Structure 1
Amino acid sequence: MNRRALYDKCLRREPLSRAEAYALYEACPLQEIASLADRVRRATVPDPQVVTWQIDRNVNITNVCVSGCKFCNFHCKPRDRERAFVTTPAAYRAKIDRTLELGGDQLLLQGGLHPKLGIEFYEELFRSLKRSYPALRLHALGAPEVAHIARVSGLTTMETLRRLVAAGLDSLPGAGAEILDPDVRRAISPGKPGVESWIEVMHEAHLLNLPTSATMMYGHVETPRQRIDHLLRIRDLQARCPEGHYGFIAFIPWIFRSTGTELEREGITTRFSPLEYLRVIAVSRLVLHNIRNIQASWLTVGRQTAQVALHSGANDMGSIMIEENVVSSAGAHNRFDAEGIRAAIREAGFEPQLRDQLYRPRPWPVKTAAQA
């Protein structure tokens, strides 16, 4: 392998072959590819001295889910009446009011694959939230949930997306990707819509010019090459996005957390290495040449590793996450408030910039409801 030629190709932001991407991950020194990824980041983002961040809240629509994901402690079966819930209108109001008081502008709305909640439920939910809070952005659901709602409702996924957008959906998270490999999916998410379903829903969202993000949960049963294959699927899907459409605005890799999960009971535990995470970040920046924003997952890797990631290809620190339940229930207990995340960015040598979901700057300090 000619490393110099490979690095020059990365600097030109040209698509790598599968063999080149494997070599980048498996054979290149971390210090070299982290430095290379930082150079590419600086050439890609509008202002290389700025690191963006967000204020939003992750609200779970329901915890009822039939997908059987072995990495999730949060879900419960429909028959578990003691644990099962669907968030009430009063609870939404309380959570949204507090989010606005803290300067947030968005709800990340996710739930499970509830067997009895069809398109009408989600349409009414989105419409009611928009009626009460017209400026609130709904970053909601995920490709598996869209596919499930379509199946329950007897619709195509494109019809489902159109109706959700008409009801108030502003953007679609990358949730449910995990590792886009059929064998991995069967092993960890046996009841979830498959790889091709995730890709199809995301492509349809891109055709509708619905902003999306992409994710990767790694560090469980997958191989390093399956991680790279995942990145290549994301890159190639982004290449199919119509010109001028949003496509994938950001990519967020995060580490599997095993505490109390079914995978842990099967002997699969968290294998977190900060150096491996930095390699994932750097290679993500270099392979995903057509996605501008790479996010450091401070929630799962902690403050210091996330800060180093900002020098290894990442340009965003994500959200302070006023509320988050799913990953936290599996052992991720890192926390930031607005002052803390801004301080962490400054400590890393950058200027913090509050943003919205489309990576547009928001002024800081924001005028919160408590200040009005």
Structure 2
Amino acid sequence: MANPTSRLTAALDRAAEGGRITPEEALELYRDAPLHALGQAADAVRRRRYAGRENLATYIIERNINYTNVCVTACKFCAFYAPPKSEAGWERDLEEILRRCGETVELGGTQIMFQGGHHPDHGVEYYERMFSEIKKAYPELVIHSLGASEVAHMSKVSEVSPEEAVRRIHEAGLDSFAGAGAELLPERPRKAIAPLKESGERWLEIMEIAHNLGVESTTTMLMGTGETNAERIEHLRMIRDVQDRTGGFRAFIPYTYQPENNALKGRTQATSLEYLRLIALARIFLDNVAHIQGSWLTTGKELGQLTLHYGADDLGSVMLEENVVSSAGAKHRSNLPELIELIRGSDRVPAQRNTTYEILRVHDDPAHDPVDEKVVSHLSSTVDSGEGIRKRRSLKVLPTAG
């Protein structure tokens, strides 16, 4: 029987050469492989996949618009939501949503994400109206939003199947799903942090339905809420199995739990090394997912920069607005010139992409870099600004079940 070191080396060499590793090998590599060897193998996988453009690292300009904080799921890691009967609840009106979309276009943004609570009144019709009005006013904007959890909720509110819900919001203007609500897919950690959400299996079933209807998505993972190493690898296995069938996941985006103002109270968190190892392992293990994104927003700019040496090919976005992880303590900010310089500082050529990862422009000459610092993350905050907000007392709120 091969000794552990030779087994790890053989698995890393096979992955670097384009071979597939098993979940058992993935767990052993995640736990025991030397960090630099793991990173080198992941970078070799990235370079092979992107031969001819392996010198590039991409980013996108987008806006995450929060449309309501009213939510019935009460996830323990969330610092953003308000219960349906709380006076702290609010809802963004359509006029203000459209204003923010227009501002995004003016600042060079190409993508809109929507993130909000599972409001007891928001069925399929709510999203149909919102998406159709945005597309009517700003057809150039890509609506990359929501995830299987929102589909499960809106289907229940409107008493329709997930298939019908996906079809209707796609026809209204949704271009792709952002993979929201994946959190942790294995049963034990999911029940521990989000007991009122659908199961991880159901989340994946709805994503598979969407993929089969021609609606692609990204997929995510929340690290640091008390899950085991084995459960992290199981999360990746569950994603890879669905991807083998559908090919609909464009990217994998792990991010870290933020410890402030939520029920978990920061009792457990992922370390920087755990995050780097997960990025590298994901690039090695998810051989059927095209892109791996490093999250500077939750881990910090320096660690985000390091992910580009550990298999990531994308550094996410200049997010013009974000309030969900910020409410839980994520304080990292950036602007366009700084994000470009972060990428260049990793010995990569920065390139702006769109939602489908097509390259829009390459910043190969620093003399021609954009200097407009108005394109800055957290340009505005739903929480700080009262514009376009209807408070809970002016809403019709349905009683929650049970």
Structure 1 match to 2:395: none
Q: Which residue of 1 aligns with 2:279?
A: 281
Pair 1:333-2:331 in alignment: yes
Aligned to 2:84: 78
C-alpha displacement of 1:153: 1.1
1:117-132 equivalences under 5 Å are 117-132=122-137
1:119–1:153: 8 Å Cα contact kept in structure 2? yes
Correspondence 1:14-163 to 2 at 5 A: 14-45=19-50, 47-80=53-86, 82-163=87-168
1:247 aligns with 2:253: no
Post-superposition CA distance 1:289-337 (Å, at most 9, x none): 1111100100011111111110010010001110000001111111111
What SS does the aligned partner of 1:213 have?
strand
> Shift of the alpha carbon at 1:343?
0.8
| Pair 1:343–1:7, CA change in 2 (3 A) | same
- Given that residues 63 and 76 in structure 1 are in contact (C-alpha distance below 8 angstroms), is that contact kept between their aligned partners in structure 2? yes
Q: Tell me if the contact between 2:13 and 2:41 (Cα under 8 Å) persists in the aligned partners.
A: no
- Secondary structure, aligned partner of 1:178: coil
Q: Which residue of 1 aligns with 2:315?
A: 317
The residue aligned with 2:348 is 350
SS at match of 2:264: helix
What SS class does the counterpart of residue 308 from structure 1 fall into?
Answer: helix
> C-alpha displacement at 1:347, in angstroms?
0.9
Query: Which residue number corresponds to residue 293 of structure 1?
Result: 291
Q: Residues 110 and 142 of structure 1 are in contact (CA less than 8 Å); yes or no, is this contact kept in structure 2?
A: no
2:208 corresponds to which of 200, 203, 212:
203
Report how many residues are paired.
Answer: 360
Q: What TM-score, normalized to structure 1?
A: 0.93
Range with greater deviation from structure 2 (58-67 or 356-365)? 356-365
What are the superposed Cα offsets for residues 176-202 of structure 1, whole Å, 9 maximum, x if unpaired? 111111111111001111112111111
Structure 2 residues without counterparts, runs of 5 or longer: 363-368, 375-402
Q: Distance in 1 between matches of 2:117 and 2:128?
A: 16
- Measured against aligned partners, the alpha-carbon deviations of 1:40-86 in whole angstroms (never above 9, x if no partner) come to 11011251110000000000121111011011111111101x32222
Paired with 1:7 and 1:280, the residues of 2 have a C-alpha distance of 14
Distance 1:16 1:156 in 2: 36
- For 1:79, give the aligned amino acid: K
Aligned-residue identity in percent? 42
- In structure 1, C-alpha distance between the alignment counterparts of 2:360 and 2:292, rounded to whole Å: 19
Q: Is the CA contact 2:305–2:343 (under 8 Å) kept in the aligned structure 1?
A: yes
Residue deviations 1:1-29 (CA, integer Å, cap 9, x gap): 31232122212333322211111111211
Partners of 1:148 and 1:193 within 8 A in 2? no
One-letter amino acid of the counterpart of residue 87, structure 1: R
SS in structure 2 at match of 1:13: coil
The 1:334–1:284 alpha-carbon spacing in structure 2 relative to 1, beyond 3 Å, is same
Which amino acid counterpart does residue 75 of structure 1 have in structure 2?
A: Y
**Does 1:237 pair with 2:237?**
no
Look up the match of 2:269: 271
Change (3 A) 1:45 1:270: farther
Alignment of 1:228 onto 2:226: no
Gaps of 5+ in 1: none
Post-superposition Cα deviations, 1:172-226, rounded to whole Å, max 9, x if no partner, equal 0111111111111111001111112111111111111212001000111200110
User: Structure 1 CA distance, aligned partners of 2:235 and 2:61?
Assistant: 28
Between the aligned partners of 2:55 and 2:340, the Cα distance in structure 1 is: 13
Give the Å deviation of 1:94. Answer: 2.1
TM-score by length of 2: 0.87
CA contact (8 A) 2:101 2:134 kept: no
Contact 1:45–1:292 under 8 Å retained in 2:
no
Structure 1 segments, 4+ long, off by >4 Å, are none
Q: Single out whichever of 86-95 and 141-150 deviates more from structure 2.
A: 86-95
Map of 1:261 onto structure 2: 262
- For structure 1, which segment, 231-240 or 15-24, has the greater mean C-alpha deviation from structure 2 after superposition? 15-24
Q: Output the CA distance in 2 between the equivalents of 1:269 and 1:349.
A: 36
Instruction: Tell me the CA shift for residue 113 of structure 1.
Output: 1.0
8 A Cα contact 2:226 2:269, kept in partner: no
Q: For 2:258 and 2:267, how far apart are their aligned partners in 1?
A: 8
- Residue aligned with 1:363, SS: strand
The question of whether the paired residues in 2 share the 8 Å contact of 1:257 and 1:270 is answered with no
In 2, are the aligned partners of 1:274 and 1:305 still within 8 Å (CA)?
Answer: yes
